[in-house]
Each structure stands twice: as C-alpha cells, then as structure tokens.
Amino acid sequence: MKKQIDSTSLPKEIQPKRKEMIGQVISTKMQKTVIVAVTHTTRHPLYNKAMRRTKHFSAHNESLDITKGDRVRIVETKPMSRTKHFLVIDKII
C-alpha cells in the first residue's frame, strides 16, 4: 500500500508547485468569492492564427478589498466548494 505524504510538512524547495494565474475580476456579487477571468493566447491548429481564450475561475477572497475590474493573482488550493479551487493572493496595481 502506498503511503500518503502531506505536502505542507515538506521543505519549501521540495513542495509541489501550485498553479498561479493572473486575471481580471468580473464579478464580486458573492460573499468571500470572486469570479476571475484568465485570458491566454493559443494558435489555431490549422490556420496558425493567434486566438484569445478566456476561462472563468471562482476564487476565495477572505478580506482583500477587491472590486470589479481589478487585476489579481490567484493560486491553486484544495477544493473549498464544488466550484471554488483557487485563492486570491494579491491585487496587482
């Protein structure tokens, strides 16, 4: 049987890298939750034209003063609810 290792007890250098993204806040209507739109560019497989793709993520926002339109940095975390798997780290000015 495989032994499970708690990644928080490991030294900082060995801990698995969490996914970090920068996006724009598009909704703050929920308590302690914001919706962040993350945009990335990719190439079309046949026509090779640059395309802009946007994905929305629900992120936990405990006490930061964030309004609609702000740019924020979010990081992956353990699931807090069915759709919320990210945490707002800071507001980018």
Cα(88)–Cα(27) distance, integer angstroms: 13
The predicted pLDDT at position 5 comes to: 46
- Of 59, 14, 80, residue with least CA distance to 6: 14
pLDDT-derived band at 10 (thresholds 50, 70, 90) equals low
pLDDT-derived band at 4 (thresholds 50, 70, 90) equals very low
The predicted pLDDT at position 26 comes to: 97
Measured at the alpha carbon of residue 74, what is the angle toward residues 14 and 9, in degrees to the nearest 5? 25
What class has domain 14-92?
mainly beta
Between 15 and 83, where is the model more confident? 83
Condensed to tens digits (0 to 9), the pLDDT of residues 22-40 reads: 999 999 999 999 999 999 9
Full-model pTM? 0.80
pLDDT-derived band at 2 (thresholds 50, 70, 90) equals very low
